[in-house]
């Protein structure tokens, strides 16, 4: 059984053999469409004994089906000399050729009578795979799992790079400290969160970025480099000077050695990455320039629905805006935080502690999505009433991103004061966004008040994977990040120092930027 | 062909035509992986190959060695479920 195919198959590989082989696969092996299935059902029986079991094989040179187990096809191979004219116009006969190959109708394997074994011919395997995929598609089965088969080039690479790394549950690969280059902890903390975003990591480690920028200033390329550094296995801290330089080049407002806001850095970084990702949307030209298909958009972009309801005619005007993060007001800020009764929908759902009366993340989200009465000083022109009327405005989530980033607005920069709000906000490990969805709001409005929690709907469930914290005051402070490695292990990243952390440490921390990842991903 | 095998052929035809055969195949495949049968068989195959030697073993050898084992090791629950499915299918398409 040699993997290099067999010499006898060359007798078959003449003229239009590819097309003929495809027809055999389409009609008798992988029958996708209704007609081919009907034909297969009727004709796939042994020409000698009429049975359909017994490992039916089809002769490759003529229309003959025979049992393998009962040796009927073997008889055919020995006896027939091929002066049969096939009534099947697609298959030509070759005078004087012996039938040496046959195809297994259950699995599509090619059997050579001279070699007395199944043979594996690269070209024929290729055709077989394609036909199988086509049939699956026709049947609506879609893409099935198939094991990875390395190409020649990949085999070469594997041979030249013999070092292998095994990922165990307690290995620290992917964790690396970052040197602080002078108040750059605002950048370091975000880099830690991004390098531990699973989908982003997968994108970069599988080399999916095709750079179209001429100069050396592509931030996406630098990100790719960064992932290589993080997963290199080196334990010494990395010095991100190139990244810092690129950030200064592309986001001038963040340049300089002063302390900057980590949230601003996150948005600026996502923006530059999104702009530099131009070539990566797999050639699919998006019709809407605001809605590109780059990896940043795929992971981080959600849709925020804003409904403005006219108080007079109750007409609703809806707009949907893209967002990368949700900025939440906190109690104690100058914008009033309306006290909400505990135990309302949402908080029991997410199991946060209401024991000490602490504000929870879901409280903040409820406040964010509550209907807000726009006062008489802010009348909106209503297209139904054709005049300016008072209205209410409500925000809900139309489309959730795969990674949801919540920004707790701790830094107050109003005209009078600049201060940091240090109110503790309790946030959960697992978050269900269902109550805040536009669809939930619609069903509530349609009178379905008891939104029974659909335990089988997993679309809106999220898991915490990174928390950025700020210690100190507005003038002088320090950023650190908790990130999640493997399922339940957390680490604290404090510039160059990485230490193990407990889940309690994470949940007790103040929280400034909270990164949640969708629990269940689906194909589009 | 006996009445029995005629009936079998007719059922088989119907199954193929309606695409049910493919679906049953997929179901069976999933069940056999779940219960560990596939891994057991893989192990047996490796044993046979080791015995006969990689260069000399043929599909015939493997087939002869593992078919009886394979048939015997299919769990009853899997057989039951497949049978149920086929019965349900036949009940639906009772023109047979």
pLDDT of residue A7 exceeding 90: no
Q: Which long-range contacts (CB under 8 A, 24 or more apart) does A276-282 make?
A: A276/A213, A276/A218, A276/A219, A276/A220, A277/A209, A277/A220, A278/A212, A279/A210, A279/A211, A279/A212, A280/A208, A280/A209, A280/A210, A280/A220
Residue spans of alpha helices (H) in A415-502:
438-445
Closest chain A CA to residue B13: A41
More confident residue, A33 or A87: A33
Interface of A with B (CB under 8 A): 1, 31, 34, 37-38, 40-42, 44-45, 50-53, 109, 116-118, 139, 141
pLDDT of residue A146 exceeding 80: no
DSSP A145: P
Closest chain B CA to residue A44: B13
| A478 in catalytic set | yes
Closest chain B CA to residue A46: B9
Mean pLDDT (whole number) for A281-290: 49
CA A402 to chain centre: 7
Query: Chain-wide mean pLDDT for chain A?
Result: 78
Cβ separation of B59 and A38 shorter than 8 Å? no
| Residue B22 touches chain A, beta carbons under 8 Å | yes
Residue among A44, A50, A139 whose CB faces B19 most closely: A139
pLDDT tens-place string over residues A396-443 = 999 999 999 999 999 887 777 778 888 889 999 999 998 898 888 777
First-to-last C-alpha distance (Å) of chain B? 18
pLDDT tens-place string over residues A73-128 = 666 766 664 322 222 223 333 333 455 677 777 777 777 777 777 777 778 788 88
Confidence of residue A157 (pLDDT cuts 50, 70, 90): very high
* pLDDT given at position A93: 33
Q: Which helix (H) or strand (E) holds B33?
A: helix B20-34
Confidence of residue A302 (pLDDT cuts 50, 70, 90): very high
Cβ separation of A117 and B60 shorter than 8 Å? yes
| Residue B19 touches chain A, beta carbons under 8 Å | yes
Residue among B1, B17, B54 whose CB faces A41 most closely: B17
Q: How far apart are CA A209 and CA A204, in angstroms?
A: 7
Confidence of residue A291 (pLDDT cuts 50, 70, 90): low
pLDDT of residue A458 exceeding 80: no
The yes/no answer to whether this complex scores an ipTM above 0.95 is no
Dihedral sign, CA of A101, A104, A110, A113? negative
Q: Mention every residue, 6+ apart, whose C-beta is less than 8 A from residue A338.
A: A367, A370
Q: How far apart are CA B80 and CA B62, in angstroms?
A: 27
More confident residue, A64 or A297: A297
Q: How far apart are CA A87 and CA A48, in angstroms?
A: 18
Residue among B1, B9, B22 whose CB faces A139 most closely: B22
Residue among B8, B19, B57 whose CB faces A1 most closely: B57
| Residue B52 touches chain A, beta carbons under 8 Å | no
Spot the catalytic one: A185, A294, A364, A493: A185
| A493 in catalytic set | no
């Amino acid at each position: 059984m040699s993997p290099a195919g067999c010499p006898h198959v060359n007798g078959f590989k003449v003229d239009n053999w590819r097309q003929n082989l495809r027809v055999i696969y389409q009609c008798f092996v992988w029958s996708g469409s209704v007609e081919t299935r009907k034909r297969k059902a009727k004709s796939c029986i042994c020409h000698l004994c009429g049975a359909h079991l017994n490992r039916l094989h089809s002769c490759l040179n003529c229309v003959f089906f025979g049992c393998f187990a009962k040796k009927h096809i073997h008889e055919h191979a020995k006896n027939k000399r091929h002066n049969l004219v096939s009534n099947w116009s697609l298959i030509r006969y070759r005078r004087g050729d012996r039938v040496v190959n046959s195809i297994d109708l259950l699995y599509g394997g090619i059997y050579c009578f001279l070699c007395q074994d199944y043979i594996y011919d690269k070209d024929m395997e290729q055709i077989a795979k394609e036909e199988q995929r086509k049939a699956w598609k026709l049947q609506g089965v879609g893409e099935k799992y198939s094991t990875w088969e390395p190409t020649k080039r990949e085999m070469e690479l594997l041979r030249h790079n013999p070092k292998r790394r095994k990922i165990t549950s307690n290995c620290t690969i992917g964790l690396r400290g970052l040197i602080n280059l002078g108040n750059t902890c605002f950048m370091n903390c975000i880099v830690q969160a991004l390098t531990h975003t699973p989908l982003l990591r997968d994108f970069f480690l599988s080399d999916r970025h095709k750079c179209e920028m001429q100069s050396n200033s592509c931030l996406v390329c630098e990100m790719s480099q960064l992932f290589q550094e993080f997963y290199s296995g080196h334990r010494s801290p990395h010095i991100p000077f190139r990244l810092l330089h690129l950030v200064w080049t592309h986001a001038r407002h963040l340049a300089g050695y002063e302390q900057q806001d980590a949230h601003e850095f996150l948005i600026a970084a996502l923006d530059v990455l999104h702009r530099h990702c131009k070539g990566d949307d797999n050639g699919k030209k998006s019709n809407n320039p605001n809605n590109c298909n780059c990896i940043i958009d795929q992971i981080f972009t959600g849709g925020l629905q804003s409904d403005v309801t006219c108080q007079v005619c109750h007409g609703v005007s809806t707009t949907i805006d893209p967002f990368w993060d949700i900025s939440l007001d906190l109690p104690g800020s100058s914008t009033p935080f309306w006290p909400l009764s505990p135990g309302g929908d949402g908080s029991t759902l997410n199991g946060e502690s209401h024991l000490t009366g602490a504000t929870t993340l879901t409280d903040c989200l409820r406040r964010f999505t509550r209907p807000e009465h726009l006062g008489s000083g802010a009348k909106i022109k209503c297209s139904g009433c054709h005049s300016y009327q008072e209205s209410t405005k409500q925000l809900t989530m139309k489309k959730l991103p795969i990674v949801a980033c919540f920004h707790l607005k701790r830094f107050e920069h109003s005209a009078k004061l600049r201060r940091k709000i240090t109110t503790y906000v309790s946030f959960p490990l697992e978050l269900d966004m269902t109550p805040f969805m536009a669809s939930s709001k619609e069903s509530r409005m349609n009178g379905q008040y008891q939104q029974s929690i659909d335990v089988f709907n997993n679309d809106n469930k999220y898991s915490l994977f990174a928390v950025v914290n700020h210690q100190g005051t507005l003038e002088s402070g320090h950023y650190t990040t908790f990130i999640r490695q493997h399922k339940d292990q957390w680490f604290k990243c404090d510039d160059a120092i990485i230490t193990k952390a407990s889940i309690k440490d994470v949940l007790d921390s103040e929280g400034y930027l909270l990164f949640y990842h969708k629990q269940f991903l689906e194909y589009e | 062909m006996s009445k029995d095998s005629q009936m079998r052929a007719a059922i088989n035809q119907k199954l193929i035509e309606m695409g049910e055969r493919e679906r049953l195949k997929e179901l069976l495949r999933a069940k056999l992986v779940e219960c560990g049968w596939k891994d057991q068989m893989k192990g047996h195959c490796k044993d046979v190959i080791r015995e006969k030697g990689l260069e000399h073993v043929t599909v015939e050898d493997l087939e002869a060695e593992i078919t009886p084992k394979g048939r015997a090791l299919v769990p009853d629950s899997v057989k039951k479920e497949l049978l149920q499915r086929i019965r349900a299918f036949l009940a639906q398409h009772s023109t047979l």
